[in-house]
Amino acid sequence: MQLSVKGKQIDVGDALRQHVESALASIVEKYFGRAIEAHVVFSREAHLLRSDISVHVHRDMIIQGQATAGDAYAAFDAAAGHIGKRIRRHKRRLTDHHGRVRDGGNADTGDVDATLAARSYVLAAEPEDGSDTGEAGDQPVIVAEMACEIPSLTVGEAVMRMDLADVPSFIFRNRAHGGVNVVYRRRDGHIGWVDPGHTDASLGSKDNS
């Protein structure tokens, strides 16, 4: 596993780097054998230190965690603990992910197991003072662009991926019919699910395992 440990205005010594490497190997390799890469960033947040962890497990699965504490070791251990908790929560799905029996497609949806190639964009935030950015009309300013893939998953697997990546929403290709869907975290704590092509379908009629 390729490991990057960096500090923003913080000196990351060899002892901390070795602690990070040992702890991540113990947590991740227990379930995945070998991850592709991991990035750990330490930064200051007020009077505390923050640790952000991102582990690229395989091509389209990322696990993330973050925490703050009084020192770098405690911040990292807490963030790693969050990652470990998420992995244990989804242990059954992760261990049998590649051995699952997948639903077949049909002539209308094509190969529902295939990922979709897409482009991902980062847009500039609007100024807090509401001043004009100089762009014509409502066209946003693109500050970054990258290639990405939309994985083919069941609804349950998409919710798992969203939880592991610790993100507010997740876009995926619904394995049941091949359409592009979105799951997201609602403010009330529940999970929202958007399925544009199947407005009259109920949760009970779909494969959401």
The full set of domain ranges for the chain reads 2-89, 97-205
CATH class of 97-205: alpha beta
80 — alpha (psi -120 to 50), left (phi > 0) or beta? alpha
pLDDT, position 180: 94
Strand, coil or helix: 119? strand
Architecture of domain 2-89: 2-Layer Sandwich (3.30)
Which regions of the chain does DSSP assign to beta strands (E)? 2-7, 37-45, 48-58, 61-69, 116-123, 142-150, 152-153, 169-174, 180-185, 191-194
Backbone angles phi, psi at 206, to 5 degrees: -120, 160
pLDDT in tens, 17-53: 999 999 998 988 888 877 889 999 999 998 999 999 9
pLDDT in tens, 7-27: 998 889 999 999 999 999 898
Contact 167, 54 (CB under 8 A): no
Angle at which helices 155-165 and 72-89 cross, to 10°: 170
* Strands 142-150 and 116-123, sheet pairing: antiparallel
Burial class (CB in 10 A: 0-12, 13-18, 19+), 181: buried
pLDDT, position 101: 37
d(CA 23, CA 97): 24
- Entry pTM: 0.75
Residues of the chain with pLDDT under 70: 96-110, 129-137, 198-209
Structure tokens, 100: 């699952």
Sequence letter at residue 5: V
pLDDT, position 130: 62
Straight-line distance from the first to the last Cα atom of the chain, in angstroms, rounded to the nearest whole number? 30
d(CA 171, CA 184): 9
